[in-house]
Amino acid sequence: MDAVNLEEVRQKLQEALEERSRAGWAGQALACPPGRPQDMPERLRTARKAGVVCLLCHDHKRGWTLAFMQRTLDDTPHSGQWAFPGGAEEPEDASDLMRTALRECKEEIGLALSNAEVVGMLSPLYIPPSHFYVQPIVAVLGGVPEVVLQREEVARLCWVPLRDLPSPGQPWPLQNVKVSKGTFHVPGWPMDEGVLWGATAMMTAELLMACAAAGFGCSFAPPKRDRS
């Protein structure tokens, strides 16, 4: 695969992300579970703040990839689910959720990102099960880095080619997802013996639209549907 002009990619993606206020919900809605509560002001005022990193890395064999980590099995609301590196705001972050996201990324997968590698932000998103209000940031690297997983919280990390994710701008197909409260039929995407769904899927759907608008990573597989 040909080398990429990293600075050009970052500039185009940054410009696309600056349009997120117009298209943010349009992207998130493509993977939104049915019946999800609205982001009402009273919920957002009391929610805990968090930051996550949507990390795009160029693999010279597989093209542009997106990093997803699978959380360890525990008693938390998002046990075993696919997620982006990130976590809750701490006092040391001084109310800066980009700082939160970068700190948590280093803690969870051992990767220290610089501000220069951050190209922008996606739309913030409220997560009802854990009562978090999450700010996703987007970072771009020219190669796939070495990582060191915090095994207490992270079971594994996968680099998924953008072409293997849903087509940008298309509704995500429905999947059966088993959680502690039962089995739900929700928009999602089969991924490494699991399903990418919920808030992380909504963020991913918005990011894919931004990547398409920026003109890279746009050779995607057709949607798959779980008809079971």
Helix 6-17, helix 198-214: angle, nearest 10: 120
Residue 184: per-residue pLDDT: 87
Residue 39: per-residue pLDDT: 67
Residue 40: per-residue pLDDT: 66
Residue 221: per-residue pLDDT: 39
Residue 222: per-residue pLDDT: 36
Residue 210: per-residue pLDDT: 93
Residue 1: per-residue pLDDT: 46
Residue 73: per-residue pLDDT: 78
CA dist 26 and 61 (Å) reads 32
First to last CA, the chain: 37
Residue 189: per-residue pLDDT: 96
Which residue ranges of the chain lie beneath pLDDT 50? 1, 219-228
- Asked if CATH classification 3.90.79.10 holds for the domain at 6-214, the reply, yes or no, is yes
Burial class (CB in 10 A: 0-12, 13-18, 19+), 114: exposed
- The token pair at 58 is 């160029």
Longest alpha-carbon distance in the chain = 49
Domain ranges of the chain: 6-214
